[in-house]
Structure 1
Amino acid sequence: MPQKNGNTGPDPTHYGATSPGSTSQQVEDGEGSVDINGGHGRLHRGLSARQVQMIAIAGTIGTGLFLGTGKSLAEGGPASILICYAIVGFVVYVTLLLLGEMATQYPVAGSFNAYTHRFFSPSYGFALSWNYWFNDAVSVASDLTAAQLVLQFWTVQHSWIVSLVFWVFLVGINAVHVRAYGELEYWLSSLKVVTIIIFIILGILVNVGVNQEHEYIGARYWYIPGAPFVGGFGGFAQVFVTASFAYGGTESLGITAGETKNPSRNMPRVVKFVFWRILLFYLLSILLIGLNVPWDYPNLSNQTTTTSPFTLVFQQAGSTVAASFMNTVILTSVLSAGNHALFAGTRVLYGLSVTSPRQAPTVFSWTSKNGVPIPALLLTSSVGALCFGSSFIGSGKLWGWLQNIVGVSNQIAWFSIGIASWRFRKAWLAQGRSLDELKFRPRWTWPWGPPFVVITVASIIIIQGWSSVIPTFSPVNFVSYYIEIPVMIIMYLAWMLIQHPGRPARTLQPGSSAGPRNPRSSSQTPLFNGSGARSSSRGRGRGSGKTWWYSDIVDIHTVDLYRDEHEEEEVDRMDDGERERRLKEVNFIQRALWRFLDFVA
């Protein structure tokens, strides 16, 4: 039966609600109380709709587009890159709709990791959460390595210094209030969006003859030897992992749901409008790259360096200043992408530390007075030190390996979102709920959406490493393509052993700082608002200690579908009103400029 709103549900305080008797000062932030003195506080809902949209764009339009397209063009050719990026783009769009439905209904910081835990399997959710944290942490290292590649456009001396400077800056900006992060992403993303629009216009002009040779280019580079499909099927297949790396970041929209003002209103808006812009930017840019840059251009992608095709198109326009400007924008996009990855990884690790049972040490649940999980930030940023390995194996090769690892991790995340969405809808219908009750319902993605995502992504994961096996076996490349799969299996089995039915349940005591005070479900592994479910068990003697195997697949008939209902808080309206008042205080020119930039972004 559908759950009623009221005092029969779990306590609405979650994510670090302080225990009884706590003396910490509490303030309202739009959903429950916040410990503003630090300690086991909550994340703050400080991101507006425009900032969340920019976070999605910032997380996707980055090194994968500006640098990864050069690697894809060199390995697969112009036709492969266009087809693969279009396929992956459509898969990610459907995935984003599925995630948006769950994130709007249950806006929590754990995002799809939490939904997989809640609706599919706690052990799988544990493995996925740590896999995605590793994804974000390695992405920081990847972006810092990319900064070295971008700097090589001007000089090859001491390129590691820019990585060190960026590393310190990223930690500093993420250590202050989440609004500072949101504002930085907003303006950096605005710069990237404007630059891509300029690139699209310039790319068309270069192609029709406004270039150094004053010649019409057309599609000539699609007919040079080796093109349009470079490397045959192997070259085509390996572009998938680069495309997956490039599109990675859109799924972190769900992670921002826990810090978004009025997620019921803002998340659907973000999901509906953001991805079409991203898809438009990608496909137009990639088409122009394939038309204007030959796949065999020197230094497009090799062991020591990778040249951005965006910079090459600006060079073709006949201006070294324009090329330097483009490279500078790429450098800022690297900074933005690293900022996004560090933010997302920090929130994933924080979410692991406040679940019940805990999936990460308690220390990572500590937040500053500004609501920033400092210990989680420090551990996530420390993985960025991998970027300094470029001194030993070359920046180009290291970036390629890290790119493969992150790309496969992104694919596992999309695969898992498909599973979680399918289980969520099945549970919703099995318990007699009406689909009209959903806060956001993408009608045309059900029932084919989840199986389409799961089957397509699984197929891509299998075939994309073709070039590492045929014609010759490359152990290092093979590992970079497939290492994530055994790691996921090991983490899954490890958590099943830790939570073995024969062991005492490792759940938090009611009233503790990170768990629900009044869980409604008697689940073995409650998550967030006590939202677990009875897990099925296979084997002899559940709880007797005699079974070596059991299944913790969640029972869709008993999973808790309760949602803590809340209306838009006064603080949200105050923020919107404050912005309008500030606009009225400035003169007409400043106001028009602000609204224009906001519109473009």
Structure 2
Amino acid sequence: MGYRQDYLGDEQTPYDGKKEHDHTQDVPNDDLEGSTHILQDRLRRSLSARQVQMIAIGGTIGTGLFLGTGKSLATGGPASILICYAIVGFIVFVTMLSLGEMAAFLPVAGSFCTFAGRFVDDAFGFALTWNYWFNDAVSTASDLVALQLILQYWTDNFPGWALSLIFWFVLIVVNIATVRAYGELEYWLSLLKVITIVVFIIMGIVVNCGGNAEGRYIGAEYWHIPGAPFVGGIGGFASVFVTASFAYGGTESIAITAGETKNPTKTMPKVVKNVFWRILLFYILSVLLIGLNVPYDYPNLNSKETRTSPFTIVFQMTGAKAAGSVINAVILTSVLSAGNHALFAGTRLLYTLAMEGHAPRFFGKLNRNQVPWVAVLATGFVSGLCFGSSFIGAGQLWSWLQNLVGVSNQLSWIAIGITSLRFRAALARQGKTHLLPFKNWTYPYGPWIAVLLNSFLVLIQGWSCFSPSFDGVSFVSFYIELPIMLVMYLGWKIIKRTKFVRLDEMDLVTDVHTAEEQVEEEKGWKGKAKSVIGWLF
């Protein structure tokens, strides 16, 4: 008789170990063999549907939307920012449908990184997971650097690095504590961001219609000023794609929570279906109102200072003296939230690397709350090194980190599309397509769109670093990810002599969250009562 975590609460309930993968619960952590199926059971399923839904809606809204839109508007103009954000939003939507289909069927902590190794090639999974882990570590660092920019709105006398250091420590403590502590913090911070953006949309409409300090109707006036609506030609238009990818980045990482989510076969499809409305309401409407209310040549809009954030500008236009400070404080909490989410995702990927034999085994050590604490410290340490480099200038460093993360996100979306195509082909070959708890209705067109469009964007979005003169540093930030990932892939393939996984040999059994398990999780009046209470509160 073993024990497993009750998916509907904190209790340890007796379990007879009938499921093929539950026997690992009785194995000491130090004796675990490096296999993917261990991930699902060693990490505690403590994230409720309430928490996961809110994390999916607002968890990844952060510096990219609140700060990055200023640079996008200045370099590309109002039309470029609207079109580019819409295109990238469409790519993210079809990508999430593909990912949700796989995550609902195989809810493991490694998510699409694990799928890449299992459905394509172990070397592909190795390169992608390390790339995305570094992406998350850099994302956390970019959020810590952004804190220094945010502080400049109020004062230049307080050392920004001190604020970053404080929040860096707080994030590490929260992520080491319990996954429930992470989930609860992220829930409330995400809720605050969602409320703020809804208020911003309402205020943006009011300001545009004349409810501003000047009492002037703005309409589409700023779309017709000299140089607008497209600024900088093809180079300006192309450059917006990477900032848009940075803003949307992290949407796919919500699937990483599947390994610690209660009832993932029901929760993950709901999360994925809501992505469309999240993109439409929070991103598209926001950038539309920014382009209508803020001219692209607004003073210092591209200075990378929070005081020139389009969100702050629009709130200031209402005439309320405290409006700027209020929105700036919210931006600060949103940055903390995005950093919290990135650190969580990066930690789980490093844990995955350890369990699959792609990283030293000690990164897979868990504390008594079943949290990979060594992975938290290692990921946090790398983030600390990155934000510690802000002596070169917080604004310039944030811009480079933004490019790195944006390209890394696009490479991950390409990998998800490739993996989805292989996954569905294997299901068809093995006659298991009918077992999918959630089907991607865009297949096969959606995954192909994600692969082809993202590949095109990765190549052309660095146009601005070639014109009017070559910018070597920007070129590196746009394209360094490509050779690094290729070298990692080829290196692991040569060293380990890995092969492409054959469709009829693909593992579609291990880690599958079956309907029988789902019934076990939900049965009983006590479990149903807890579900109702969790949904309400």
TM-based fold match above 0.5: yes
Letter in 2 for 1:232: G
| 1:13 matches 2:22 | yes
Match of 1:430 in 2: 429
**Does the CA-based 8 Å contact 1:67-1:306 persist in structure 2?**
no
**Does the CA-based 8 Å contact 1:390-1:398 persist in structure 2?**
yes
What is the SS of the residue equivalent to 1:107?
coil
Distance 1:416 1:80 in 2: 26
Match of 2:13 in 1: none
CA RMSD of aligned residues (A): 2.2
Match of 1:197 in 2: 198
Match of 1:547 in 2: none
Distance 1:23 1:215 in 2: 66
Matches within 5 A, 1:101-120: 101-120=101-120
The CA deviation string for residues 101-153 of structure 1, in whole angstroms up to 9 with x for no partner, is: 00011111110011111111110110000000000000010000111111111
Distance 1:208 1:333 in 2: 28
| 1:578 matches 2:527 | no
What is the SS of the residue equivalent to 1:154?
coil
Compared CA separation, residues 138 and 368, structure 1 to 2 (3 A): same
| 1:492 matches 2:489 | yes
User: How many residues in Structure 1 have an aligned counterpart in Structure 2?
Assistant: 507
Distance 1:105 1:572 in 2: 18
Letter in 1 for 2:340: N
Match of 2:452 in 1: 455
Match of 1:136 in 2: 136
Q: Note the C-alpha offset of 1:458.
A: 0.2
Moved more, 210-219 or 295-304: 295-304
Q: Note the C-alpha offset of 1:463.
A: 0.5
Q: Note the C-alpha offset of 1:431.
A: 2.0
Matches within 5 A, 1:147-226: 147-157=147-157, 158-226=159-227
Compared CA separation, residues 69 and 23, structure 1 to 2 (3 A): closer
Compared CA separation, residues 324 and 568, structure 1 to 2 (3 A): same
Name which of 517, 520, 523 aligns with 1:567.
517
Matches within 5 A, 1:244-263: 244-263=245-264
Percent identity of paired positions between Structure 1 and Structure 2: 59
**Does the CA-based 8 Å contact 1:176-1:370 persist in structure 2?**
yes
Q: Note the C-alpha offset of 1:278.
A: 3.4
Match of 1:300 in 2: 301
Unaligned segments of structure 1, at least 5 residues: 1-8, 25-30, 35-40, 501-550, 584-594
TM-score normalised to the size of structure 2? 0.90
Match of 2:365 in 1: 366
What is the SS of the residue equivalent to 1:300?
coil
Compared CA separation, residues 10 and 360, structure 1 to 2 (3 A): farther
Distance 1:349 1:248 in 2: 19
Matches within 5 A, 1:294-333: 294-302=295-303, 307-333=308-334
**Does the CA-based 8 Å contact 1:123-1:492 persist in structure 2?**
yes
Letter in 1 for 2:225: I
Name which of 458, 462, 466 aligns with 2:463.
466
Name which of 537, 545, 555 aligns with 2:502.
555
The CA deviation string for residues 181-220 of structure 1, in whole angstroms up to 9 with x for no partner, is: 1111111111111111111111111111111111111111
Letter in 1 for 2:56: A
Compared CA separation, residues 32 and 379, structure 1 to 2 (3 A): closer
The CA deviation string for residues 513-535 of structure 1, in whole angstroms up to 9 with x for no partner, is: xxxxxxxxxxxxxxxxxxxxxxx
Letter in 2 for 1:558: E
**Does the CA-based 8 Å contact 1:140-1:383 persist in structure 2?**
no
Letter in 2 for 1:256: T
Distance 1:424 1:106 in 2: 11
Match of 1:440 in 2: 438
Distance 1:415 1:166 in 2: 33
Distance 2:279 2:518 in 1: 29
Unaligned segments of structure 2, at least 5 residues: 1-17, 31-36
Q: Note the C-alpha offset of 1:498.
A: 2.4
Distance 2:38 2:452 in 1: 40
Letter in 2 for 1:12: H
Q: Note the C-alpha offset of 1:84.
A: 0.2
**Does the CA-based 8 Å contact 2:71-2:304 persist in structure 1?**
no
**Does the CA-based 8 Å contact 1:13-1:33 persist in structure 2?**
no
